[in-house]
Amino acid sequence: MHLLLFFICILTVSQATNDNQQTALWNLFKRVHKKQYANILEEQYRFVVFTDNLAMIDRHNHEADIGLHSYTLKINQFADMTHEEFVRKMLNGVKMPSKTDYMKKSNKNSLHPPSDVDIPAAVDWRKKGAVTKVIENQGQCGSCWAFTATGALEGQHFLKTGKLVRLSAQNLMDCSGEFGNQGCNGGWMDASFQYIKANKGIDTEASYPYEAKDGNCRFNPKTVGATDTGFVDLPKENETALQIAIATVGPISVAVDASHSSFQFYSSGVYDEPQCSSTNIDHSFILVGYDTFKNSTVKKDYYIAKNSWGDAWGDKGYIWMSRNKHNQCGIANIGSYPLV
């Protein structure tokens, strides 16, 4: 009986310590991410969601410590959201326009990479100055497509002119509706490239800042930051062509299946999600390079992807997506880039 009481006391102290740690992390989370709630009942509910997410993250990271996963997770701005809320609010940004006439008018081109091209083992366009810093955060607005389009054009504009100019995602959201884009309700990178061509340019971010909501078009031809002459689509489901394009062209716009808790809370390492769909595409970003992770027991190819959820998400705003893993998450399904 005394031994039983001893273990009960140990468990009680352990639980109390765990509760105190959860409360401390919760208060830190609210302060860091400036969280406020409508009332005490809402905050209590969000705390329960937070602790559930925290338990899942801890479990995953313990498994990663013993080699069961090639990446880790962390608490971020989405930690007080259920996964269903995260999917509904954050993953509605990639939509093929219902209008197809923009494709008929466009200078669409297709990449046909030679089979014998010699490409480097690793590429990182950030080191060459072709990628803007991660400061953008799309918020709870389905505008990933706009940031993906501007990111790809920023890279091509830099490689042609030597000038790295941050371009306006808000300009695309407010002004490209006739090409099938729907602002916070989603859009398509190719349609954005076609709008920029027809519009004879896109504003700079400085002249047309991001607002995370739909607004009236305020494009100013006097503050154009870049333009394009069309776009190129990569061969579907062809990772060899995707790697060649990244190596020889520059940052490439792509879209993936991001509808997993592992993506929601990604922190570092090579993202390898067996449950990823190659057809359920719901989020876009730009690939700015690729490389291979190696240690004494593991070798994993990966793409370097720049996301639009701020630098508090992932690895300072980036994620290493699995490469040469049977088109995992559909990463090679809809690659494209603008022509300048």
- Per annotation, catalytic residue among 307, 327, 329, 333: 307
- Per annotation, catalytic residue among 92, 141, 283, 329: 283
Taking residue 230's Cβ as centre, other Cβ atoms within 10 Å add up to 16
Token duo for residue 50: 């937070």
In terms of residue numbers, what domain contains 286? 85-339
**Whether residue 246 is found in the same domain as residue 324:** yes
**Whether residue 47 is found in the same domain as residue 167:** no
The answer as to whether 320 is a domain residue is yes
The answer as to whether 184 is a domain residue is yes
**Whether residue 204 is found in the same domain as residue 330:** yes
144 catalytically annotated: yes
**Whether residue 200 is found in the same domain as residue 89:** yes
276 catalytically annotated: no
The answer as to whether 266 is a domain residue is yes
H/E segment holding residue 124: strand 123-124
Helices and strands in the chain: count of H runs, count of E runs: 9, 12
Angle between helices 189-199 and 144-161 (to 10 degrees): 60
Chosen domain end from 69, 101, 129? 69
**Whether residue 281 is found in the same domain as residue 144:** yes
- Per annotation, catalytic residue among 144, 175, 184, 276: 144
Q: Give the whole-angstrom CA distance, residue 177 versus residue 89.
A: 21
**Whether residue 226 is found in the same domain as residue 259:** yes
pLDDT digits (tens, 9 = 90+) for 286-296: 999 999 999 86
Output the tens digit of pLDDT for each of the chain's 340 residues.
444 433 333 333 334 447 788 999 999 999 999 999 999 999 999 999 999 999 999 999 999 999 999 999 999 999 999 999 999 999 988 887 765 544 544 556 666 666 667 889 999 999 999 999 998 899 999 999 999 999 999 999 999 999 999 999 999 999 999 999 999 999 999 999 999 999 999 999 999 999 999 999 999 999 999 999 999 999 999 999 999 999 999 999 999 999 999 999 999 999 999 999 999 999 999 999 999 999 867 899 999 999 999 999 999 999 999 999 999 999 999 999 999 9
- Report whether 222 contacts 203 (CB < 8 A): no
